[in-house]
Amino acid sequence: MKRIIYTILAILFTATVFAQNDLIQKANEHYAKEEFQKAIDGYNQILMAGIESPEVYFNLGNAYYKTKQYTLSILNYERAKLLAPDDQDVEFNLQVANQKVVDSIQELPGIFIVRWWNAIVNSQTTDTWAVISIICFVVFLTMMGFYFFAKTSEVKRITFWSGCFLILFTIFSWSFAAKQKSRLVNHSYAIVMQPTVTVKSSPSEKGTNLFVIHEGLKVRITDKLGDWVEISLSDGNKGWLLTESVERI
C-alpha cells in the first residue's frame, strides 16, 4: 500500500514539475517573439501558481518595461533583487527603470561602517549565507577535533585560533542569513503605485499635507494603522498615506 502511495506522489510531483516548466517555457517564448502582454500574463500565471524565482521576476520586469509599464517593472526588478541581491543584470535594469521615476530623492549620507556592513550582508542570499555558516561550523568542529588530539603545542595553537575565527564567522554568517530572511518575510519596503500621492502628517484625510510623491518611488514602511501606513523616504522625510497607494516588494 505504501509503495502505491509513494508511486502516486512521485507521478503527481513529476507532472507538477513538467507543468511548471511548460508555463515558464511558454512565457519565455512569448517574450522572445515580442508578444510582451502574453509574456506578462504567462509570468503572472507562474507566480500565481506559487513559483517564485529571481528569473521570473526579472523577465516579468523586462516585459513590463517593454510595454512602458515602468512602475510595475520597478516593482518586479525589486522583487528579483530581493531574491538575488548580487545579480548585476537585475541591478542595471532597475537603475534604468528608476530613471523613469519623477521623484529624485537625495539619500542621506550614512555612516561608512554601516553602509559597508549592509553591503556585505546584501552581497549574498539567505540560502548562501546559511550554507556558508553550516560549512564554517563543520570545519570548526574538525579544527576542534585536531586541537584535542594534537600532540604538539604548535598544532594546538594553530587549530585553536583557526577554530576561534571559524566560530566567529559562523555566527556572523548565520546572523546575515537571519537578516536577509527577515527582509524577505517582513516586506518592509514598497513601491508607490498611484500616479500622484499626497503624504499626510497623520493617518487621516484631515492630516496636514506634507509633500507629494509619484509612482515608481521606493519607500520604507515603518508603521501601520488601519488603512494607513507610515512611510519613510531615503532623505529622511516621513508621513502617512493610504495602504492602497503602495504595493509591498
Q: Same domain for 231 and 175? A: no
Residues 86 and 172 reside in one and the same domain: no
Last residue of a domain, one of 98, 130, 164: 98
Residues 57 and 91 in one domain: yes
Residue 216 domain-assigned?
yes
Of 186, 201, 226, which closes a domain? 186
* Identity of residue 200: K
Scored b (16 or more CB within 10 A) or e, 48-80 reads: eeeeeebbbbbbbbbbbbeeebbbbbbbbbbbb
pLDDT of residue 241: 98
**Residue 103 within any structural domain of the chain:** no
Question: Which of 136, 133, 161, 137 minimizes the C-alpha distance to 147?
Answer: 161
For position 7, what pLDDT does the model report? 44
Q: Are 131 and 189 in contact (CB under 8 A)?
A: no
For residue 38, what are the domain limits? 2-98
Does 144 map to a domain? yes
Overall number of domains in the chain? 3
Return the C-alpha cell found at 84.
538575488
What's the pLDDT score for residue 20? Answer: 66
**Measuring CA to CA, which residue among 184, 186, 241 is closest to residue 215?**
241
In a domain, residue 107? The reply is: no
CA–CA dist 249, 238 (Å, integer): 19
Alpha helices in 49-125 (DSSP H): 54-66, 70-83, 88-98, 112-121
Same domain for 138 and 90: no
Same-domain pairing of 175 and 202: no
Question: What's the CA gap between 96 and 80, in Å, rounded?
Answer: 15
Does residue 104 lie in a domain region?
no
pTM of the model: 0.76
10-residue mean pLDDT series, the chain (249 residues):
47 48 90 96 95 96 98 98 92 97 81 83 89 96 92 92 95 93 86 97 96 97 96 94 97
> Same domain, yes or no, for 181 and 195?
no
- The pLDDT score that the predictor gives to residue 15 is 44
